Amino acid sequence: MDIDLSWDPDSQVAHGGVTFTLADTVGGAALVSQVDRPVPTIDMRIDYLNAGTGDLRATADVVRLGDDVGVTDVTVLLDDDTRAATARGVYKVG
């Protein structure tokens, strides 16, 4: 994700909402890849571990895929593989 979405162009640190949105999108996409339909977010918790500088990328693991609810764990990484944030998302899948 380009840092053009930074709240402060001088520091090149992404606003926390950018990191959150990336985590939510990637968490939902992990479930969509398994259920092949939209999955609205029920709840998401995020822990910010480091400032979101440079390019951000995220990976997600599906923790649970039930009949009605899916849960993902998401890791947001910096360029050097340092964790910027970890998140857990809960989505409506059924």
Chain segment 22-32, per-residue pLDDT in tens: 999 999 999 99
Domain borders along the chain are 3-92
The pLDDT of residue 23 is 98
Residues 80, 15: Cα–Cα separation, whole Å: 19
The CB density around residue 52, as the number of other CB atoms within 10 Å, is 24
Q: How confident is the model at residue 5 (pLDDT cuts 50, 70, 90)?
A: low
Classified by CATH at the fold level, domain 3-92 comes out as Thiol Ester Dehydrase; Chain A (3.10.129)
